[in-house]
Amino acid sequence: MFAAPKVEEVISVMHARGYKVFDDSRGHDLNIVGIRTESMEAEKFNDWLMVFYIFDNAWNYFAFPATTDPGTYYRKNPLNVKGTAVLKPGQYRSVYTIGRHRNYKALQQIDNMTVYRDANRDAQLNTEGMVEDTGLHSINIHRSNAHRPSTVVGKWSAGCQVFQDPDHFNFFLILCDRASKKFGNKFSYTLLEEVDFH
């Protein structure tokens, strides 16, 4: 599996792409970054969700196992007639708020994001040639199982960005709560790819 890069590497890639790196010295100015790895196994938490911020004049950096693409169930049974949503890499500014995913607290999409539509209803993910769709697609950031780390993606993701371990997710929400008190209840998200680090 692609190992989580160092925070300096992530920042370097973001700068190279022209993306904003949040570095307010007051602390907890969150950078929320996903990395989609080259491994396309549908049922694995083989991607990364990272959060980093300045605190006491140094970067605090955490990397968590996650999935940035949908599980097999929703690839074969899309919720949208256009096909299953696969978030397009890029930076999406102020697109999330602390809200709800189903019946629990999570980061909820509140502004437009662009997804690819996987309409061939098979287990493989290949974004080449897919139709792009920009809008409100409920691409939330949430957890899988509430009580223990999940071993398979299954129905946990229909295109959302999903933490494997609920303890990681709960810690992430604490950071989001602290950030919202200083900077307001809006969050940006950057999705990178493993190839960006080669």
Q: What is the mean pLDDT of each run of 10 residues along the chain (198 residues)?
A: 93 98 92 92 89 95 95 70 84 98 96 84 63 93 94 84 97 97 97 95
Could you tell me which of 35, 96, 87, 39 has the C-alpha nearest to residue 61?
A: 35
Q: Which two tokens stand for residue 22?
A: 């949040």
> What pLDDT shows up at residue 127?
63
Structural domain total, the chain: 1
Residue (of 96, 88, 45, 90) closest to 66 by Cα position: 45
DSSP conformation class of 134: E
Assigned domain for 1 exists: no
115 in a domain, yes or no? yes
* Residue 187 placed within a domain: yes
What is the per-residue pLDDT for 43? Answer: 86
pLDDT at position 78 is 67
Locate tokens 């960005």: which residue? Answer: 161
pTM: 0.92
Residue that the structure tokens 């602290």 belong to: 178
Query: Please, what is the end-to-end C-alpha distance for the chain in angstroms?
Result: 14
Examine residue 185 and state whether it is found in any structural domain, yes or no: yes
| 32 domain-assigned | yes
Check residue 1 and give its pLDDT: 74
Residue 93 within a domain: yes
pLDDT at 193: 96
DSSP class of 128 = T
In a domain, 2, yes or no: no
**Minimal CA–CA distance to 32: which of 180, 149, 145?**
180
Q: Range of 150's domain?
A: 7-197
